[in-house]
């Protein structure tokens, strides 16, 4: 089944195949498609559409949280007393 998704990276609407549907912990419903380059394209839908329109789409057990950026460790200061800027 195909649906229309908004691709944030290219800032355009894309028609893509719906891979799965998901119910979020906060009570919202959504579907997820896949862009041609493999990125996930999420879209929120109403409960009615979730239960009727996308009835044949498989349900993912739990919504995956977004990955957070990992901060790099701070550079160590130089131990010498000469005032170098290493």
Neighbouring residues of 77: CB distance < 8 A, sequence distance ≥ 6 = none
pLDDT, tens digit, 9 for 90 and up, residues 50-63: 999 888 788 886 65
Over residues 9-44, the pLDDT tens digits come to 999 999 999 999 999 888 899 999 999 999 999 999
Query: Does residue 39 lie in a domain region?
Result: yes
Structure tokens that stand for 58 in this block:
């498989």
Would you call 11 helix, strand, or coil by DSSP? coil
Residue 12's Cβ-side half-sphere holds a number of Cα atoms within 13 Å equal to 6
Note the pLDDT of residue 1.
86
DSSP 8-state symbol, 72: P
Number of folded domains that form the chain: 1
In a domain, 15, yes or no: yes
d(CA 34, CA 17): 7
Report the pLDDT value the prediction gives residue 42, as an integer from 0 to 100: 93
Q: Does 18 fall in a domain?
A: yes
41's tokens: 């394209």
More confident residue, 76 or 49: 49
Boundaries of domain holding 29: 2-51
On whether residue 37 sits in a domain, the answer given is yes
Residue 70: band (very low, low, confident or very high) from pLDDT cuts 50, 70, 90? low
Residue 82 domain-assigned (yes or no): no
């Amino acid at each position: 089944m195909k649906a229309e998704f908004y691709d944030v990276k290219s800032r355009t609407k894309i028609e893509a195949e719906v891979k799965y549907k998901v119910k979020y912990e906060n009570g919202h419903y959504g579907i997820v498609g896949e862009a041609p380059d493999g990125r996930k394209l999420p879209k929120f839908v109403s409960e009615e559409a979730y239960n009727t329109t996308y009835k044949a789409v498989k349900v993912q057990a739990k919504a995956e949280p977004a990955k957070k950026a990992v901060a790099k460790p701070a550079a160590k200061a130089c131990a010498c007393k000469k005032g170098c800027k290493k």
